[in-house]
Homo-oligomer: A and B are copies of this chain.
Amino acid sequence: MSQNWNELRELLDKAAAYQAALALFGWDAETQAPPEGAALTARVVGVMAEEYYALMTGPRVRALAKAAAGEVTESRDRAILRRLSRELDRLEKLPQKEYGAYQQLLAQSPSIWKKAKEQNDFSAFAPTLEKVVATERRFASLRAKEGQAPYDVVLDDYEEGFTMAQLDPFFAEARERIVPLLRRRAEKGIVPPKKYPCPADRQRAFCKWLAGYVGFDFSRGVIGETEHPFTTNLHNRDVRIAIHYYEEDALSAIFSTIHETGHAIYEQQIADDRTLTPIGSGTSMGMHESQSRFFENNLGRSRAFWSAIYEKLQKMLPETFGGVPLDEFMSAVNAVQPSLIRTEADELTYTLHILIRYELEKALFAGELAVADLPAAWNAKYREVLGVEPANDAEGVLQDTHWASGLWGYFPSYAIGSAVAAQLDAYLRRTEDLDGMLRSGSLSALRAFLRDHIHRFGGEKTTGELLLETTGEGFEPRYYFEYLEHKYGV
């Protein structure tokens, strides 16, 4: 290989080390760090982020990338340069000090959000949220190309190539096709979903088994606990999921576990020669959510999936599920009811929760909505779209960690992911005996398929490329609406 390329790879190894350190600090903050330590640790995190920034925007990286561009030939290496260039385009527009200060703010804001949520006090979080929104808008404006809207800038961060021009009609169709489904079901009468209380220790043990069954490799990962379930990764041999066990209902942790394991399998199956490089993680948040939601919903809410392991569940949680027939369980995990909490929402209403957030983010970015008016706007949207209204902000606008964590433009990924999952599900059902695989009690052939066609590439190919190469079609949301209408039509 060329001298330029080798020197660049050394610098990128450093950059990857900073990213891995930031991932560890993020994991730690959400799973165990002591509350009084947050402010000092934020200084430490700020330094790591600034050093990453200084390295990437320094004199060498861009110059070496340009010099190497004409020299590398492998598709993997060309993809590394392409991704790197995207990241440099992003960073070079941001002033170093502001970037570092923002990373410090983001290191503290989740703990401020968490406290505000616990105390159901939006006003305690509002000043922080205002700073976050203002910074996100400012950074997006600095990065915007001629005529590009700031919100399109952050959408592109999480799903390359997706814009409001594409998402507006997608969400319009979602509203047009899902709301009537919901209304027709409501006319027949909605039974509130049953809850299945269970001690946390028992849930912990079953969820650990379940994660392993779905495919989590414990030699390359750990499971922790947190307020809001998530997955993170230092590299492909250290992938971590965090779960919240609610004693009042075991279904929450069970489906969180399947969801987060879907994310984790993606990261654990990325090829060794891609990890700790600019293409070392899943290609986009939409593709990531497609994997988690495919496991959680398309597989995890199917009778074929549970027919193989329902006895195990009954055996491990006998007081909770011992007397529950599989039929009742399947009804419970597929129950539909308009609700307040996104992470607890059923498969049918879920995308409507995303639609609400998408519209609010757009309005905040366009300067059409002030942070002070956000709670009222939130509640109005829930009333309008889902016909329910939060009794307080803790179960309303304060429910999600994303805005506190700087994840603006991220929410649409969940809806994109649901659509991609449905597209993969349709393809696999056309070409393979998916239900047969599930009933056999082994998901290894399925994981191998996903590894070979999607996971191993990391960020080498875009979502659109992966879909085209795997299914023969680009992004096609019609599979998603057809899936919902088929499953939930009455």
Using a CB–CB cutoff of 8 Å, the interface residues on chain A facing chain B are 13-14, 16-18, 20-21, 24-25, 28, 32-37, 39-41, 43-44, 46-48, 51, 217-222, 224, 234-238, 275-276
Contact = CB atoms under 8 A, between A and B. Distances in A.
Contacts of A46: 17
B37 A237 contact: yes
B25 A44 contact: no
A236 B16 CA distance: 28
A165 to B, nearest CB: 40
Given A24-B28, A34-B218, A44-B234, 20 more contacts: A13-B47, A14-B47, A17-B43, A17-B44, A17-B48, A18-B47, A21-B25, A21-B44, A21-B48, A33-B222, A34-B220, A34-B222, A36-B219, A37-B235, A39-B237, A40-B235, A40-B236, A40-B237, A40-B276, A41-B234
A18 B43 CA distance: 11
A450 to B, nearest CB: 20
Contacts of A236: 40
A40 B37 CA distance: 28
Contact of A220 (B14, B36, B48): B36
A220 to B, nearest CB: 5
Contacts of A25: 21, 24
Contacts of A43: 13, 17, 276
Contacts of A222: 32-34
Contacts of A276: 40, 43-44
B40 A234 contact: yes
Nearest to A32: B222
A60 to B, nearest CB: 14
Contacts of A224: 32
A21 B21 contact: yes
A237 B34 contact: yes
A268 to B, nearest CB: 10
A275 B40 contact: yes
Contact of A20 (B34, B44, B219): B44
Q: Chain A binding site: helix, strand, loop or mixed by DSSP?
A: helix
A25 B22 CA distance: 11
Contacts of A33: 222, 238
6 contacts: A14-B47, A17-B46, A18-B47, A40-B238, A41-B234, A41-B235
Contacts of A219: 34-36
A238 B238 CA distance: 23
A219 B25 CA distance: 18
A175 to B, nearest CB: 43
A238 B37 contact: yes
Given A13-B43, A14-B47, A51-B51, A220 B37 contact: yes
A219 B14 CA distance: 33
A377 to B, nearest CB: 35
Contacts of A238: 33-34, 37, 40-41
Contact of A36 (B21, B44, B237): B237
Which 4 pairs, one residue from A and one from B, show the smallest C-beta to C-beta distance?
A: A37-B238, A17-B47, A37-B237, A36-B219
A28 B222 CA distance: 11
A489 to B, nearest CB: 44
B17 A234 contact: no
A61 to B, nearest CB: 15
Contacts of A32: 222, 224
Nearest to A235: B40
Contacts of A34: 218-222, 237-238
Contacts of A18: 47
A41 B27 CA distance: 15
A24 to B, nearest CB: 6
A117 to B, nearest CB: 19
Nearest to A47: B17
Nearest to A233: B37
